[in-house]
Structure 1
Amino acid sequence: MPRPLSRTAIRAAVPALAAGLVALGAAAPGRAAEGDPAMTFTIGQYKEGPSTEVEPFGEFSEQPIQGHNVSGRTLKNVKVTMDLTALKGQLAVTNQSLCTQPRELVEACTYGEALKPGDSYGVAALVFEVLPGARPGFSGEISVSAEAQGVSLGTTKLTVTMADKSVLIDRTGQVPPGDPVKPGGTVRPLAGFTNFSSRPVRDVYVRLRLTPSLSFAREYSNCEYGLDDKHPAMSCHIAQNVEPGAAYDLDLGPLRLTDSALSESWYGDIFVDESAYERSKPTSSHRGSGPELTAVPRASGPTIPGHALLSGSVVADNTLDFEAVGATLDGKAGQVVTAHLGARNKGPATIKNWTGSEPGDEPTSEVRVVTPPGTTVMKAPANCREDGSSERYYCWEPEAEDYFLAGKLTPFDFDLRIDKPSALAPGKITLSHGKEDLNKKNDIAPIIVTVDGKLGDGSAPSAGGTGGTGSAAGGATATPGTGDSSASPGTGGSGTASGGTGTGSMAATGAGALPWYAAGAGVALAVGAGLFTLARRRRTARA
């Protein structure tokens, strides 16, 4: 019969078991006090361990502390005390768990449930905030001790280190802060940084990208100016010594609002990675002709870094006019005719197509089409879908385009088959939009399909709305019919439907198949489709 293990042997085996668990992937506890602890502790948001690093702003600021029963017995009513006094003056600490504070920077937390051998639980969720004047690279210990029923369960030392991050943005925004600015006026972006590091920096790089209706009103000789995906952009190299812990401000120059400005913004970065600077240079660029851009030491000293990017926005005192473009068509029973419908931004302002986080999210304008009774939709645009029935459609701006430029026409071509001449009646295209469009009178336009110039009730269509053009679908032959007979398109020749009449700048000409959108293309402007893509801070570059 095997001899039972002695208590001494069992106690000796517990640390070995814990070490085995660590080797198998369990979180390594912090440095424990002398003896054989029954409880150990770890810290970390995504990776638990004996130490953690606190970012100087927001990211990774919450650091949970976990308790682990490494004894061979069940523990009850565990009381944990966390001594954070070593962090005083460097980090402010908030505990989001239900604990008491016997004194400043000391937290006491009680766990009333039974904690079985090998069990772990969340002791506290600590949120760290960097204090003004904090020392980059600072490291301090949190002493975490546990007891149950007056018996010590051990003490663990956890290390908290403040990240050494190099250049960090601590000032952004704009002047004026929010009042509407008239087109032709200017707004000044704010930019500043702190060298949140124990090491000096020699070269600092800046980049800024604008929405299309902003331009740079001043240039600097150490900056390149051009386009970044069709957006105005600048990229600058400041060859200047930046001292550890010092704060600096940058005057990037005023930004001018063009005639098409409405709701504008800019995004940028301040960084020290030369390779990122080379990649960020705008295309079709030129060197600025003005003075040199320099970093000016801030007299008031550093502030707590709190911004990942340079950013700002301005609202222009401007309006726009959306216009629905309808069509008037004439054909024969069974013939397929094409209605060149659309939406036009008559300006003067350009507007973003989307205000959501992804293309297509929260559109600034919407188009709804009701096709004429007596017709059947044979083909609808790719950027339209049925809206409750086969006669109603919801349409949107192309998702590849960020902006609805002033003067731009967006076509929505519908192929319609004339099935029931006696039922023909006007349809409509309707635009809905935001408060910037003050002219509501041209937001609805008729879609009229006739046979021999007559609607289903025998009347001629009345003039009104904004007319488009129409044509027979290419390669289709209309088969004549009488009354309500439905004739199918045949093969062979090509049919044409005469354009009807309409009012507005794109009234039908009555001459065949010239799509209005071909004319509109002559005034359409190119638009940048990408969202502002800035390379995120490379943490390794800050090290």
Structure 2
Amino acid sequence: MELRLARRAVAVAAVLGASVGLTLALGAPAQADTPVVTLEQPAPAAVAPAGTTGTADTVQPYFDFRTTGPLDNVEATLTIDATQLATIAHVTFSDNCTVTQYVATCDEWLYDPQGSSSTVGAGTQMTIEALPGATVGSAADYTVSGTSDGATIVGAQGSVEIGGPAYSQGQPKNLTGLAVGSVVTVPARFTNIGDRPADSTQVLLMASPGLGFTKHYANCEYSTDDSSTEVEEALCTIPGQVLPGERAAVSPAPRVRVESSAYYTYLDTMIAPTGDAGIRSTTASRQWTQGTGDELTLKVITPGTATDAPSGTVALAMTGEHSDYRSASLQADNTADFAVTGDSATAAQGDTVTMHFSMANNGPATIFYRSGDTMAVTASIPPGTHVVSSSSNCRRTSGSAYTCYGASIITPAGTVADFSITLQVDQVIPGAQGSVAMAWSPDGSYRPPFDTDASDDSAALTLN
């Protein structure tokens, strides 16, 4: 199975600036209404020699673009010159490419009709595999350029190395029933299963809402963002060579406090050689403050094997159960009371009337559904009416029922989500009653264990 270069569900990309000197702008000069489509510089790639256990035999760089304007199936031609790369690797291309002497000419269609996407993906793929006998530590470049009648294409240059370090991290235990106010230790251990050492290591700790670090270290930077699913992060740089085969642990092991807002919480950990593109991309948008005090270190559990191979900063892609990214689920023994409010109104036949209702988290816990689900209510309209319109956070799901959603997968204590539905009265029915209720499950057979009070889970929508 061909594997893409990214080792985690994080896009590794940085727009190539003019100061780098590698941008290739091809085609006719841009007109005022001609979008400029810029290839994000591919992250440096490392490919393992054949037979390296736990690492991928091939890699595929991402070819993602940014655009300055709408693209409605713009036809383009991408040219990938892999002449240098072919000296150390076997390179193949997707079926939309014609290849002559390691130069691929690829038919491409770029689509982003609104011109608003963070990236525009390409269908063109390049698969890279180390040549037999390629020297570990050797490197080569490739270039990507392009032309189009509907856009100006700006290319970039990528690089590939043979071999590299690869930090396979152990999976920490998931814990439940944690007392609010308690402190939890989450060991972070890894093994360099690659074929090259790393001269230093970076550890990125990401705490979700409800967790807080108990100590800060002088060789770590810290970032807080209350609106993020990773409300607090620590990025630590630890000097010292990590040899192939070495097994090490972050020392002291990370410790987090279970706060009063905790329920579903997570501590995510990425461990990689310093300079790793994945960590760099993940942390680029945050603001950081240097820590003080003691320094975080690595404790060697099993020594590695000395090698003549040069140190590397570009990590190998890993396969199977091997990964440099792990997540510990830490569930607190806590509650959150969700409550709804209804509405009542009077209207004559033929009139329209807007009914307002809401959903609130009375706490104390923040509820974070990492699956991507948001808290929601189901509203059933009073008989004798039909819906004219609704607030943007509501949509019809079946018959006269509407489902209305909270704004985020994170619902802190104190959050109130407001909804409305505008009705036209077809028939005046005294005491016509609809309802609004927490949408715990489609058939109402489930309610979460964190909400023990069912008395405020539903309310009436009464008309006339």
Q: TM-score, normalised by structure 1?
A: 0.49
The answer to whether the 8 Å contact 2:167/2:194 transfers is: no
- Aligned partner of 1:171: which letter? G
Displacement after TM superposition at 1:234 (Å): 1.1
Residue 377 (str. 1) matches residue 387 (str. 2): yes
Displacement after TM superposition at 1:354 (Å): 5.5
Separation of aligned partners in 2, 1:267 and 1:393: 36
Q: Which residue of 1 aligns with 2:417?
A: 410
Separation of aligned partners in 2, 1:373 and 1:194: 65
Residue 426 (str. 1) matches residue 433 (str. 2): yes
Separation of aligned partners in 2, 1:59 and 1:325: 54
Q: Deviations over 1:354-384 (max 9, x none)?
A: 62xxx4xxx4644211111233211123333
Residue 289 (str. 1) matches residue 292 (str. 2): yes
The answer to whether the 8 Å contact 2:169/2:325 transfers is: no
Displacement after TM superposition at 1:305 (Å): 8.1
Change (3 A) 1:281 1:221: farther
Q: Which residue of 2 aligns with 1:171?
A: 170
Write the mapping of 1:444-483 to structure 2, written as runs, cut at 5 A: 444-450=458-464
- Aligned partner of 1:293: which letter? L
The answer to whether the 8 Å contact 1:379/1:414 transfers is: yes
Residue 215 (str. 1) matches residue 212 (str. 2): yes
Question: What secondary structure, in the 3-state scheme, does the structure 2 residue paired with 1:421 have?
Answer: coil
Separation of aligned partners in 2, 1:374 and 1:424: 11
Q: Deviations over 1:26-85 (max 9, x none)?
A: xxxxxxxxxxxxxxxxxxx559xxx97245337569xxxxxxxxxxxxxxxxxxxxxxxx
The answer to whether the 8 Å contact 1:221/1:289 transfers is: yes
The answer to whether the 8 Å contact 2:219/2:237 transfers is: yes
The answer to whether the 8 Å contact 2:261/2:365 transfers is: yes
The answer to whether the 8 Å contact 1:380/1:413 transfers is: yes
The answer to whether the 8 Å contact 1:327/1:447 transfers is: yes
Question: What secondary structure, in the 3-state scheme, does the structure 1 residue paired with 2:188 have?
Answer: strand
Displacement after TM superposition at 1:297 (Å): 1.0
Write the mapping of 1:310-389 to structure 2, written as runs, cut at 5 A: 310-353=326-369, 355=371, 359=372, 363=373, 365-389=375-399
Q: Which residue of 2 aligns with 1:536?
A: none
Displacement after TM superposition at 1:449 (Å): 2.0
The answer to whether the 8 Å contact 2:54/2:193 transfers is: no
Displacement after TM superposition at 1:325 (Å): 1.4
Which structure's CA Rg is the greater one?
1
Q: Which residue of 1 aligns with 2:243?
A: 243
The answer to whether the 8 Å contact 2:271/2:324 transfers is: no
Separation of aligned partners in 2, 1:437 and 1:300: 49
**Runs ≥4 residues deviating over 4 A:** 58-61, 299-302
The answer to whether the 8 Å contact 1:221/1:290 transfers is: yes
Write the mapping of 1:270-281 to structure 2, written as runs, cut at 5 A: 270-274=271-275, 276=277, 278-279=280-281, 280=283
Displacement after TM superposition at 1:300 (Å): 8.2
Displacement after TM superposition at 1:327 (Å): 0.9
Number of aligned residues: 292
Residue 202 (str. 1) matches residue 199 (str. 2): yes
Q: TM-score, normalised by structure 2?
A: 0.56
Separation of aligned partners in 1, 2:301 and 2:290: 27
RMSD: 3.1
Q: Which residue of 2 aligns with 1:186?
A: 183
Separation of aligned partners in 1, 2:362 and 2:164: 49
- Aligned partner of 1:426: which letter? Q
Q: Which residue of 1 aligns with 2:99?
A: none
Separation of aligned partners in 2, 1:324 and 1:186: 34
Displacement after TM superposition at 1:339 (Å): 1.4
Change (3 A) 1:403 1:239: same
Q: Larger RCO: Structure 1 or Structure 2 (Cα < 8 Å, ≥ 6 residues apart)? A: 2
Change (3 A) 1:354 1:203: closer
The answer to whether the 8 Å contact 1:224/1:281 transfers is: no
The answer to whether the 8 Å contact 1:194/1:305 transfers is: no
The answer to whether the 8 Å contact 1:372/1:425 transfers is: yes
Question: What secondary structure, in the 3-state scheme, does the structure 2 residue paired with 1:274 have?
Answer: coil
Change (3 A) 1:192 1:328: same
Larger helix proportion of the pair: 1
Separation of aligned partners in 1, 2:379 and 2:287: 42
Displacement after TM superposition at 1:241 (Å): 2.6
- Aligned partner of 1:298: which letter? I
The answer to whether the 8 Å contact 1:183/1:318 transfers is: yes
Displacement after TM superposition at 1:445 (Å): 0.1
Among candidates 431, 434, 443, match of residue 457 of structure 2 = 443
Separation of aligned partners in 2, 1:443 and 1:46: 49
The answer to whether the 8 Å contact 1:219/1:253 transfers is: no
Q: Which runs of 5+ in 2 are unaligned?
A: 4-47, 59-135, 137-161, 306-319, 441-447
Write the mapping of 1:11-410 to structure 2, written as runs, cut at 5 A: 45-46=1-2, 53-57=50-54, 164-174=163-173, 177-227=174-224, 230=228, 231-251=231-251, 252-274=253-275, 276=277, 278-279=280-281, 280=283, 283-298=286-301, 306-353=322-369, 355=371, 359=372, 363=373, 365-389=375-399, 391-398=400-407, 401-410=408-417
The answer to whether the 8 Å contact 1:432/1:443 transfers is: no
Separation of aligned partners in 2, 1:432 and 1:273: 46
Q: Which residue of 2 aligns with 1:150?
A: none
Change (3 A) 1:431 1:396: same
Aligned-residue sequence identity (percent) comes to 26
Separation of aligned partners in 2, 1:55 and 1:349: 46
